[in-house]
Amino acid sequence: MSYANRSRLNYFLKAALLMVPLLATQYHAWSWILEMVLLLIVFLHGKESGARLTGILTVLGYSAAAVVAVNNASFDQIGFVPLAGVLFLWIQNKISVKDALFWSITLTVLISALPTIGIVKEALTPAKVDEVVAMTMQSYEQNGNIHILEEKGISKEVLEGYVKKVISLYYQILPAAAGVIGMLEFVFIYTLYRRLLMANSWEGKVKTPFTRWRMPWYAIWGVNAGLGLYLIGDSFSTWAVWKIVGMNILSIYAVLGFIFGFSCLAYLLQRPKTPRFLIFIVIIGGAIYLPFTLTVLIFIGIFDIVFNLRRIPEGKEGEAK
């Protein structure tokens, strides 16, 4: 890209950082797509103009959006994931990129999950749960599903109890679902950003293939915290809210465990010494026993945090970009 084109792009990125949050809030246009586009703009501007100016412009843009949101009661619509991109730009040169990604993704999960707490608190009141259950049962009855299930020996009372449990579970893990969506947004845009750098010769080859992805060793404390909070909340009824918090933390780590467990599996299958018949058995067996396979991959990904199952040298991990 020529100097003139890069200069024009830089001016456009600056204007976007200032105006996109404001206009999106003013016209109620926030969406996950717009959030991802703004995150990409944060990364690209950070590459061109540095983390300091990018952070200032992003904060100014969000501050203006917050003022508008107070006036039109749309604060809960604002997407804050791009702020995690600012954090990444600030710390990527101070610590390893692997650690910078971990803390940026942690912030992404938090700012994605926190806005759902009010929804969960309201939805889990007994009156609200009963209302949703009644609406669901009415819908089933109108569609004739209850009659079909009763013919199969499932009574309406049993079905209603099952629906109530599913609805309660759905709202309990809603923060985790929002956090996972935010995390996937961040990872997708970061990967796209790296590819754009390579395509435009702004930076060299990506140093860390998927088969060598690892979480930092201290990430295991998140698992410990989630498990501890779940057990405390499950043991003491007065602290039941901590059970929900623990469930959400463990749900997020289950997704992370699956991703990194799949990375370990890909590493094993890619090794030249791995027999072809073993690869065939793993693929066919994994497809047939899918729930079991998913569970195994989750545990492999979690254990890899502590035991470094692939024996990846720590020094080389820190170089990954």
pLDDT in tens, 112-127: 999 999 999 999 999 9
Q: What is the pLDDT of residues 254-301, one digit of tens each?
A: 999 999 999 999 999 888 888 888 888 988 999 999 999 999 999 999
Q: What is the pTM of this model?
A: 0.88
Q: Which residues of 194-227 are buried (b: 16+ CB within 10 A; e: fewer)?
A: beebeeeeeeeeeebeebbbbbbeebeebbeebe
Mean pLDDT value of segment 94-102:
92
Residue 321 has pLDDT above 70, yes or no: no
In the structure, what pLDDT confidence band is assigned to residue 1 with cuts at 50, 70 and 90?
low
Residues 6+ apart with CB under 8 A from 232: 239, 242, 243, 246
Residue 74 has pLDDT above 90, yes or no: no
Residues 6+ apart with CB under 8 A from 291: none
d(CA 69, CA 25): 6
Contact present, 309 and 212 (Cβ < 8 Å): no
pLDDT of residue 206: 53
Mean pLDDT for the chain overall: 90
Residue 171 has pLDDT above 50, yes or no: yes
pLDDT of residue 222: 97
d(CA 128, CA 144): 24
Residue 63 has pLDDT above 90, yes or no: yes
pLDDT of residue 317: 45
Q: What is the pLDDT of residues 181-210, one digit of tens each?
A: 999 999 999 999 988 887 776 665 556 788
